[in-house]
């Protein structure tokens, strides 16, 4: 299986490449960066993709800066929606499967039960709306071979270059520099390691999972404060984590107060996904950071 990866330099894209490279006899990777294809140039998409041979295309790229997107709606719709339709149509012309990476931000957060794939999306910010439109256009353009994979709160060894590093890197840096980090405690989500997400996506493809929508997140849930507290404790950083409200740290875009994803559907195909605490331990170990004795015991 030849797997083309758009956004190959990002957190998720780079981990998909790493998983493939670990067993090169099984699959072959075709990394595509923005230098190879800038999806904001809609007219170039079919021409560029027609030059490559692949069995699957996984799109990990997009306009992800949630606050910036709020005031650049036209560009967000272009990149996160119309470009996705063009990619789906290109995959259809090559009879290749298409995996579109989407987001938990398609939901409004007005619940306290993990969202399943059958729950009605109701985005409350421009980013979520643009990603939802991209989902719909992809499934409409190529329903037979499109998998929409919604992920949440990603962290990976590669970091997030577009956002200046991931949440873990930011918390550790501030903790070391100031001895204190203030983190919102009224937004609950699904921390998700890109290494686990990459393995699950490839397992979906290898097991010929049917088209449709899948929720992919590490098991468990946490507020951003709870996640930050675990990061600081596991890494052994002498810093205090202080819970605050979202009102104390207002942002341009409204975030859903609850966006936990139910991963039962995908787990039935690829196996149970690790708890986010175990995924965090693995991440910190791979980054060469200190783990406390208690954290090494794993999730509760």
Angle at 216 between CA 29 and CA 199, to 5 degrees: 35
Our answer to whether residue 249 is catalytic in this structure is no
C-alpha 136/C-alpha 148 separation (Å) is 9
- What is the distance in angstroms between the CA of the first residue and the CA of the last residue of the chain? 38
Report residue 192 CA to chain centroid gap. 7
Report residue 261 CA to chain centroid gap. 12
C-alpha 37/C-alpha 66 separation (Å) is 22
Of the candidates 63, 115, 127, 214, the residue annotated as catalytic is: 127
C-alpha 126/C-alpha 65 separation (Å) is 11
Q: Is 288 left (phi over 0), alpha (psi -120 to 50) or beta?
A: left
Q: Which of 141, 167, 172, 146 is nearest to 156 (CA)?
A: 167
Exposed / middle / buried, residue 42 (Cβ in 10 Å: 0-12, 13-18, 19+): middle
C-alpha 232/C-alpha 186 separation (Å) is 19
Active site residues: 127
């Amino acid at each position: 299986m030849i797997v083309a990866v758009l956004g190959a330099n990002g957190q998720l894209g780079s981990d998909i490449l790493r998983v493939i490279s670990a067993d090169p006899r099984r699959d072959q990777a075709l990394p595509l960066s923005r230098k190879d294809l800038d999806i904001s140039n809609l007219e170039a998409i079919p021409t560029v993709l027609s030059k490559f041979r692949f069995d699957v295309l996984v799109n990990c790229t997009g306009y992800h800066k949630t606050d910036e997107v709020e005031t650049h709606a036209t560009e967000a719709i272009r990149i996160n929606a119309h470009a996705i339709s063009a990619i789906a149509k290109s995959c259809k012309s090559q009879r290749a499967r298409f995996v579109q990476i989407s987001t938990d931000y398609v939901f409004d957060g007005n619940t306290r039960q993990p969202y399943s794939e059958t729950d009605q999306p109701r985005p409350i910010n421009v980013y979520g709306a643009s990603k939802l439109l991209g989902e719909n256009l992809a499934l409409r353009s190529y329903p037979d071979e499109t998998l929409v994979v919604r992920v949440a709160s990603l962290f990976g060894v590669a970091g997030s270059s577009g956002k200046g590093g991931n949440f873990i890197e930011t918390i550790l840096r501030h903790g070391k520099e100031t001895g204190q980090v203030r983190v919102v405690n009224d937004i609950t989500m699904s921390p998700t390691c890109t290494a686990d997400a990459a393995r699950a996506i490839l397992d979906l493809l290898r097991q010929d999972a049917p088209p449709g929508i899948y929720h992919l997140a590490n098991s468990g849930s946490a507020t951003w404060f709870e996640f930050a507290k675990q990061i600081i404790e596991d890494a052994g950083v002498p810093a205090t984590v202080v819970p605050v409200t979202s009102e104390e740290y207002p942002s341009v875009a409204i975030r859903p107060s609850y966006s936990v994803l139910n991963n039962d559907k995908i787990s039935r195909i690829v196996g149970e996904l690790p708890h986010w605490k175990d995924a965090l331990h693995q991440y910190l170990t791979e980054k060469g950071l200190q783990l406390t004795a208690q954290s090494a015991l794993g999730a509760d």
